[in-house]
Amino acid sequence: MEIKAININKLARPCITRDKAKDAISNLRKYVNDKQVVIDTNSVELISLSFLDELVFWIVRSGLMRRVIFRVDDPIIYDKLAHIVAFRQVVILCQSKDNEVHEVIPKASTSYNPKFIPNKSLKR
């Protein structure tokens, strides 16, 4: 199966509301067809939990989840996906910096892998 990488900003902008997530799912359908899609979340400044939850809801409902991988380097975005996994009881595939693909661990048992530790400059 062919893999297509797409920046999340090409699906919707800004990535903060449930309505924008509905726009994103419409745009995602244009890319999926018979391809595996990697949604790259790394170049966006803010992705809300509401946006991600709605996006995942519609990806699952559309039957596209087995074709979607989220590219996530930011531990905050990973944490949001972990909350969604726990709440929706779905499997979300995640690709990290080293291109390794794994399932997102539900929030109740989340333990961060060192590759997901935030940059010291981001600490408050």
pLDDT for res 1:
65
Residue 122 pLDDT more than 70?
no
Q: What is the rounded distance in angstroms from the CA atom of residue 36 to the CA atom of residue 76?
A: 24
pLDDT for res 96:
83
- Residues 6+ away with beta carbon under 8 Å from 32: 64, 67, 68
pLDDT for res 34:
77
Domain count within the chain: 1
Mean pLDDT, the chain, whole residue set: 85
Mean pLDDT in residue range 93-116: 72
Residue 18 structural domain: 3-122
Which residue spans within the chain are E strands per DSSP?
3-7, 36-40, 68-71, 93-95, 101-103
Mean pLDDT in residue range 81-110: 86
Which residue spans within 9-121 are E strands per DSSP?
36-40, 68-71, 93-95, 101-103
SS3 94: strand
- Tokens for 31, please give them: 């890319």
Residue written as tokens 């979300």? 92
Q: What is the pLDDT of residues 58-71, one digit of tens each?
A: 999 999 998 999 99
Q: What is the pLDDT of residues 9-54, one digit of tens each?
A: 999 999 999 999 999 999 999 888 778 999 999 988 899 999 999 9
Q: pLDDT higher for 122 or 59?
A: 59
Q: pLDDT higher for 118 or 73?
A: 73
